[in-house]
Amino acid sequence: MTPLQLGFGSLVAILVLIALRIPIGISLGIIGLAGFTWLRNFDVALGVLAQIPFEVSANWGLTAIPMFILMGSVAFNSGISESLFRAARLWFSALPGGLAVATNLASAAFGAASGSSVAAAATMARIAIPEMLKHNYDKGLATGVVACAGTLAALIPPSIMFVIYGVFAQVSITKLLIAGVLPGLLTAGIYTVLIVTRCWLNPSLAPMLSEAEREGLKEERWAALLPIWPLIVLMLGMIGGLYFGIFTATEAGAAGAFLSFVVAAMQRRLTYAMVKASLFETVTTTGQIFFIAIGAVLYTRFLGLAGLSDAMRELIGDWALSPTLLIVAASVIYLILGMFLDPLGILLITLPVLQPMFDAVHADPIWVGVIVVKYIEIGLLTPPVGFNVYMVKSVLGDTVALETIFRGVGWFLAAEAVIMVLLIVFPSISTVLPNAMG
């Protein structure tokens, strides 16, 4: 079999195993093992199996992951999101669709403490949606904004996805984290424009506050900033420290988690239950992520042995594609896989196949990283399997139908199309900050 046949055949085999309910990590591992047995023999396969689990876990680059998860769990369990939403509501709810705008911006700020979109969507679903429904907001808008704005957490540092991309694509994690800042802000900005325009054109989506209510907001505005200033300091400290190379991603995560505990203690939210929940969430999520990563590395090594990357490079060389054209082609793959697979699975399965192609056309790996992570986040929103949408639904129970949430998300997906065109046509949105780091 040629390397290309082996590569695509094994990819199909993995997707079949995954569709048959075999856990993703095990599906990848089995095919990796079978691949080594096919190309060499079973003893070689066992030798690789003996080596890889330890190698993946004891990897300095990936140490940022548990720290980012812990930081996010502490922020999630300590109720910082309530203060964020309250402050954002006081400042922005005079706008058309003001509560939805406030939800969007509070999610962006929460993203500065959390690296996981699903967690961000879960926390805002509990706090913001009841408030919006109480003010007779359209159900699709109220739930859609929460599901979509959750994805900002994966772009704004910290971000678990960028760490994994960085390690597997061998790109600087720090630069990737910094590269996510502007695309994250751009997404939040375009979402805001979308919400304001829609609600301005169709006020029935989001009833405006009365004059008296709007006046009342002004008095409390400054006081509402008091409980959120530690988060703002944390956010600026993290981005600044990474940008100026004062600390690594792991150190940023550890210090961020530590400071989140300190902030929670200062605000009298540091309880035994909160600490236990945060730590347990951290260890189980870490275990889940690394179990998949171990399978993925087994599979990737097999593809390496099969010579897939050289084959892909040659294939692409023949076509003489431009990086932009290749990104557009990859978009189709990510959009399709995003409809069914979990985000980490998509990232780890596609990277060994697509990365050599991007290298061959000399695409900037930082730019590619931003685009890939964006697509994976869009995959959290698209039916039939949109993890953020499912999360919102599971928090709300029977109050809102799944179809209503997907309908609300539809508008934001249209905005995402605009954002993706901007990010693809202007790579400098992603690369200007990391390039300036020197």
Rule CB under 8 A: choose which of 267, 286, 331, 435 binds other proteins. 286
Size of the site for other proteins (CB under 8 A): 57
237 binds other proteins (CB under 8 A): no
Asked whether the beta carbons of 293 and 348 are under 8 A apart, the reply is yes
Query: Which phi and psi angles does 400 have, rounded to 5°?
Result: -130, 135
274 binds other proteins (CB under 8 A): no
Shortest distance, position 228 Cβ to other proteins, whole Å: 22
CA dist., res. 256 & res. 343, Å (int): 24
Asked whether the beta carbons of 170 and 128 are under 8 A apart, the reply is no
Rule CB under 8 A: choose which of 94, 209, 279, 321 binds other proteins. 279
Site string for other proteins, 387-426 (x = CB under 8 A): ----------------------------------------
Collect all residues with Cβ–Cβ distance below 8 Å to 35 and sequence separation of at least 6. 6, 10, 299, 302, 303, 305, 306
CB-CB neighbours of 222 under 10 Å: 11
Shortest distance, position 49 Cβ to other proteins, whole Å: 5
Kindly tell me which of 187 and 260 has the beta carbon lying closer to other proteins.
Answer: 260
Asked whether the beta carbons of 365 and 349 are under 8 A apart, the reply is no
Shortest distance, position 35 Cβ to other proteins, whole Å: 14
Site string for other proteins, 319-358 (x = CB under 8 A): ---------------------xxx-xx-------------
206: amino acid identity, one letter: A
Handedness of CA 346, 348, 352, 358 (dihedral sign): positive
331: amino acid identity, one letter: S
CA dist., res. 172 & res. 170, Å (int): 7
Shortest distance, position 257 Cβ to other proteins, whole Å: 5
Shortest distance, position 348 Cβ to other proteins, whole Å: 11
435 binds other proteins (CB under 8 A): no
Asked whether the beta carbons of 52 and 298 are under 8 A apart, the reply is yes
Rule CB under 8 A: choose which of 11, 14, 70, 311 binds other proteins. 70
CA angle 9, 10, 11 (to 5 degrees): 90
37 binds other proteins (CB under 8 A): no
Structure tokens at 354: 């697509």
Kindly tell me which of 23 and 207 has the beta carbon lying closer to other proteins.
Answer: 23
**Residues 8-27 within binding reach of other proteins (CB under 8 A):** 18-26
68 binds other proteins (CB under 8 A): no
Select the span of 90-98, 143-151, 285-293, 316-324 touching other proteins (CB under 8 A): 285-293
Instruction: Return the closest-CA partner of residue 374 out of 301, 426, 430, 315.
Output: 430
Residue 194 Cα distances to 40, 128, 264, 418, angstroms: 56, 18, 34, 11
Read off the DSSP letter of residue 61: G
CA dist., res. 133 & res. 127, Å (int): 11
**Residues 38-57 within binding reach of other proteins (CB under 8 A):** 46, 49-51, 53-54, 56-57
78 binds other proteins (CB under 8 A): no
300 binds other proteins (CB under 8 A): no
DSSP assignment of 280-310, as one string? HHHHHHHHHHHHHHHHHHHHHHHHHHHTHHH
Kindly tell me which of 148 and 254 has the beta carbon lying closer to other proteins.
Answer: 254
Select the span of 29-37, 112-120, 154-162, 424-432 touching other proteins (CB under 8 A): 29-37
Select the span of 253-261, 302-310, 353-361, 414-422 touching other proteins (CB under 8 A): 253-261
DSSP assignment of 198-218, as one string? HHHH-GGGSPPPPHHHHHHHH
Kindly tell me which of 233 and 283 has the beta carbon lying closer to other proteins.
Answer: 283
Shortest distance, position 72 Cβ to other proteins, whole Å: 13
Kindly tell me which of 51 and 322 has the beta carbon lying closer to other proteins.
Answer: 51
Asked whether the beta carbons of 327 and 64 are under 8 A apart, the reply is no
Interaction site with other proteins (CB under 8 A): 18-26, 29-30, 33, 46, 49-51, 53-54, 56-60, 62-63, 66-67, 70, 246-247, 250-251, 253-255, 257-258, 261, 276, 279-280, 282-284, 286-288, 290-292, 340-342, 344-345, 384-385
